[in-house]
Chain A
């Protein structure tokens, strides 16, 4: 039973990871990230004031203690944060490339206006 819950947790994490990356530009994707952020804050509060609740959840998903579960969640959150930032950076590079390309082509088209066949 424990291995089933552990595997399900890992699969769920992978699903969330791909969903967030794929939907990073959509309203839903951005909303999921904000919900995740608020859930993390709630988890921090619960861990501090009601640690036994986190322990119970941890045992249920096959992790030895609540603190360990919290560390795993933080690790997963950090990976998603880094990759999301990386993808955002790639998107910005794409925008930058499109702008630079537009400038380059307009400039070249102006320069070669009327010269296309006899250059």
Chain B
């Protein structure tokens, strides 16, 4: 199926899984952009074995910065839609297909994946509690009403991609994207998705303590705007 879609995958030390993830994405979508965020393992070599585009940060900047780089590079390509996709293999490419159909046929600017409308496989209870708290906090700070505020799977149109300017380089970018959606009044919708937690993704996932950094940065950003 020919899609005018670019799947953007920020990559940092994902040597073990990245080739499989990229290959799965390429099987369904012609344009995959991997942004290597200064990996020190063999991630770059693994990506180079596929036909995905590879954009390499000279230094490690963080996932938010890598996403912005991927979006800016993908804007140069002949695509109309953009998808952000995690590199650790927790997303399902089937969800991208269904979200793409909704975005293409509907009148929305952006579609956000929600694991709480869909399903989660092997999700740790502590993670669930933390994410539920994050939902309350992010809804409060952004003014949106969402069921899952920290899901890496999002699809949006070119208008959003052209205007998107993620400034937060690290994991707090998810909250910033929501603030951008609210500020620019984009038409958004949530879509049920499946998130599969593996031993690998659990090990790679952000630590609970990082939630404090995100909360602090989000509040400070509100004050300093």
Contact = CB atoms under 8 A, between A and B. Distances in A.
Contacts of B58: 100, 103-104
Contact of A101 (B51, B68, B77, B217): B68
Contact of B56 (A21, A93, A108, A112): A108
Contacts of A27: none
B167 A101 contact: no
A116 B76 CA distance: 9
B108 interface: no
A96 B61 contact: yes
A109 B53 CA distance: 10
B73 A83 contact: no
A86 B223 CA distance: 13
A93 B169 contact: yes
A100 B55 contact: no
A86 B65 contact: no
A105 B53 contact: no
Interface size class of B (residues with CB under 8 A): 20 to 34
A114 B56 CA distance: 19
Given A105-B73, A108-B53, A97 B78 contact: no
Contacts, number: 67
Interface residues of A, number: 26
Contacts of B223: 17-18, 21-22
Contact of B76 (A93, A107, A109): A109
B45 interface: no
Contact of B61 (A18, A90, A97): A97
A100 B59 contact: yes
Closest 10 CB pairs of A and B: A21-B224, A108-B55, A97-B65, A101-B69, A97-B61, A104-B55, A97-B169, A104-B57, A100-B57, A18-B223
13 contacts: A18-B224, A87-B220, A96-B61, A97-B61, A100-B57, A101-B69, A104-B56, A104-B58, A105-B76, A107-B55, A108-B55, A109-B76, A111-B54
Interface of A: 17-18, 21-22, 24, 83, 86-87, 90, 93-94, 96-97, 100-101, 103-105, 107-109, 111-112, 116-117, 119
Given A86-B220, A108-B73, A116-B78, 18 more contacts: A18-B224, A21-B223, A21-B224, A22-B224, A97-B62, A100-B59, A100-B61, A104-B73, A105-B55, A105-B69, A105-B73, A108-B53, A108-B55, A109-B73, A111-B54, A116-B77, A117-B78, A119-B53
